[in-house]
Structure 1
Amino acid sequence: MRDPAEWADIGERVRECRLAADMSQEQLASALNLDRTMIAKIERGVRRVDALELAKLSSVLDVPLRYFLDTPPLVVSRRTDLADDTVTDATRQSYRLEIALSTWVADIRQLMEIGQFSPPAIERGPEAIQDAPSARRAALWVRDRLSLGLDPIDSLMSVCERLGQLVAVVETPGEGASLIEGDLAVAVVSRQGDPGRRRATAAHELGHLIVGDEYSTDIGVHASRDEREATIDAFAVELLLPTEVVRNAASPGGAVKREDLVALAARFRTSWSLTMRQAVTAEVIDRGIAKEMRRRNPTRAELMEAVGWAPQPDLETVRVPPSYAHAVMESYKKAFITGSRAVELMRGQVTAADLPLRDDADLEP
């Protein structure tokens, strides 16, 4: 039986999830066929919630059931609470990303507890990162450490995994978020952005890990509002599209054409704005030309033509790290988890029809 403090904790999570869903107490009560005063009591922790009500809350608020029951990571629980008079679209997105991050940590921990998964070792950069130049050097260190040279990164998710950060692609709106909890370094990236933006977000969250900044002890929601975030952005940009690569794309006289930059954006799978930024940094175009070029975003046909119409799946069909996916499948084959749980853990990368048959398949709910 849960003590009063635990019910108060659950009630607080219900309240924050309601605010994150942009619902009033009246709207939530109506969806649950309850009186508004019952929702108020649940949120204050003075009314207990049975399993059926929790399941309904999970469905209506679009939050995993276990989020109400499991203790979230400490770095998440230290975040500023949502308040009725201060909540904004940005804070709603931030909170829902935190929920996705907490769930991701819990899922990894489950596989660890049943002995099917060991997290990769966390790596750090070789020097203190204090400004954009040192952040760019850290990005080149990553490329050297993983023998990537100056080639396009095929799978950013695999790069993150090799450096100790486990990334999941989620349906939650926003950009991304990351945290370190003990031996785990994790991040989530929203699938709702375009492919180039998703890669930039994943590279940004990896930057928080490599740089080892204040986000090592607190959650980092992807943004570019202050000097520290700009430093992390410099790491991400250099990792995805090294300055030297852009310089080499210029003609002998130093001029670079739009089609050259379109080819770079396509090959390195970067957004057009990121490509323009690196072109300015590499001094192959000036800011005025970059501003003009930004008005002419490459079409999908231009980008696909530049890479010979080859598919670009990174952070699209692949939703979880390879080692984690293997652990999920092994857990399913050994009947440690059900088929439905396996699909849930894979976050849309597979469906029930993709799972191999198991001897106890007829016992599945």
Structure 2
Amino acid sequence: MTVSDSASMGRRIAEARSRAGLTQADLASAISLDRSVLAKIENGGRRVSALELARIANTLGERIEWFVMETPPAIVSHRNLEEPGAESPTIDRTVERVTWNVEFTSQRDERWNTPSVQTLSRPRNAEEAEASSTIARGLLGLNSIAPLVDIAGHFSNLGLLVFAFDLGRDAADAASVLLERGGVAVVNGHLHVGRRRLAAAHELGHFLFADEYSVDWRVSDWEDDNAWESRLDRFARALLLPAVGLRQMWDDSQARGDDLRARCVKIGSIFRVDMSTLARRLIELGLIAQSGGRQVRSIRTTRADIVELNLVVPDELAPPCLPRSYEESVLRIYRHEMISPARATDLLFDTWNEEDLPVLPSLPESAIWNLV
């Protein structure tokens, strides 16, 4: 869907200009327009030409599609709760672009298949959060012991497409949005791998509990006054560190005579979590005391640990990261010549070059009659 009325277009231009910290006079000068003309455009009293819009987008560092495509309804609902004119966070705009691209692709790919997953009831306390994680692991095809590896692949099988982009240290950890079919999540790839996985698990919770649109600024930093997010954090930790599997591995490592540091380094590597997440999980399961939690958080896995303990060193969701099923879908519609090479690389968020795309067979001369 595209924005067609002047008022909506004008509001978007004004919002983008404000976000860039420019006055109307600044922007008008940069694009060679009178300030009064730009004021009319922003107020919806004058239509903006394609050339003017291109100049505005270039000056403000925005993509033209941000001005001309309608924002997904779930994101609009979220923004209506915000202070009017408030700056949209980086991840907010990234989720918009991801949503546009996913919806565009899914509508053109005949083989696009989003599974139907039953929505889970919202957990009302920690015990129900634990139970929900067990159900979610079952949906993912995991038992009560196995580590969750290839998190993006597993979540795609439930209909949640996870993307990772480096949004910088000041951006939110993650965000997710429900689509008409399935959902998308964006994880800030600037985080370390353990935090990226925790953020993705947190977004799966939002997805399964049918939260329409959610931005999580700092996963696992919520205080008790935000009980819902705390329960989601509990769900995410339990998803990555199942109680049965963690207890068994903890006891086995202790029986082998491993000290606390060796136990934590090994378990963190196997379950692919950071030490802060592991510490909180060990405390909530009663395996260590609060004082032990501070000690666990201080542990850093070294290069010597990797060699001597034969550790797995995955780098899941390393930015930029796109779901494999999404990449395959883009390639399918490209092979069917529904999109150009330039549009294909745009849908792939410029993680591919045109030279990376498959070579399409040449059409016979007679094929022109199919187009007449």
- Aligned match of 2:317: 315
- Aligned match of 2:109: 115
Rg larger in 1 or in 2?
2
- Aligned match of 2:67: 68
Q: 1:283 aligns with which of 267, 283, 286?
A: 286
Tell me which moved more, 7-16 or 25-34.
Answer: 25-34
Aligned length: 347
Q: 1:220 aligns with which of 200, 214, 223?
A: 214
- Aligned match of 2:132: 138
CA–CA distance in structure 1, aligned partners of residues 305 and 233 of structure 2: 24
TM-score, reference length from structure 2:
0.82
Offset at residue 127 of structure 1 (A): 4.5
Matched, 1:153 2:148: yes
CA–CA distance in structure 1, aligned partners of residues 30 and 311 of structure 2: 47
Deviations 1:213-245 (A, max 9, x none): xx23xx111143611111111111111122333
CA–CA distance in structure 2, aligned partners of residues 26 and 83 of structure 1: 22
Q: Is the 8 A contact 1:169 1:188 kept in 2?
A: yes
Q: 1:198 aligns with which of 191, 196, 199?
A: 196
Change (3 A) 1:48 1:220: same
User: 5+ unaligned residues in a row in structure 2: which ranges?
Assistant: 364-372
| Corresponding letter in the other structure for 2:281 | Q
Offset at residue 181 of structure 1 (A): 3.1
Q: Is the 8 A contact 1:266 1:304 kept in 2?
A: no
- Aligned match of 2:236: 236
- Aligned match of 1:358: 360
Q: Is the 8 A contact 2:265 2:301 kept in 1?
A: no
- Aligned match of 2:271: 268
Change (3 A) 1:15 1:255: farther
| Corresponding letter in the other structure for 1:180 | L
CA–CA distance in structure 1, aligned partners of residues 260 and 49 of structure 2: 64
Change (3 A) 1:292 1:137: same
SS at match of 1:353: helix
Offset at residue 326 of structure 1 (A): 0.8
Matched, 1:49 2:51: no
CA–CA distance in structure 1, aligned partners of residues 127 and 271 of structure 2: 21
- Aligned match of 2:174: 176
CA–CA distance in structure 1, aligned partners of residues 308 and 236 of structure 2: 23
TM-score, reference length from structure 1:
0.83
- Aligned match of 2:332: 330
Change (3 A) 1:106 1:311: same
Deviations 1:70-115 (A, max 9, x none): 111112122135546xx4xxx542xx32222222222122223323
| Corresponding letter in the other structure for 1:325 | E
- Aligned match of 1:104: 98
| Corresponding letter in the other structure for 1:342 | A
Q: Is the 8 A contact 1:199 1:270 kept in 2?
A: yes
- Aligned match of 1:344: 346
- Aligned match of 2:187: 189
Percent identical across equivalent pairs?
A: 26
- Aligned match of 2:370: none
Change (3 A) 1:339 1:284: same
| Corresponding letter in the other structure for 1:209 | F
Q: Is the 8 A contact 2:165 2:319 kept in 1?
A: no
- Aligned match of 2:161: 166
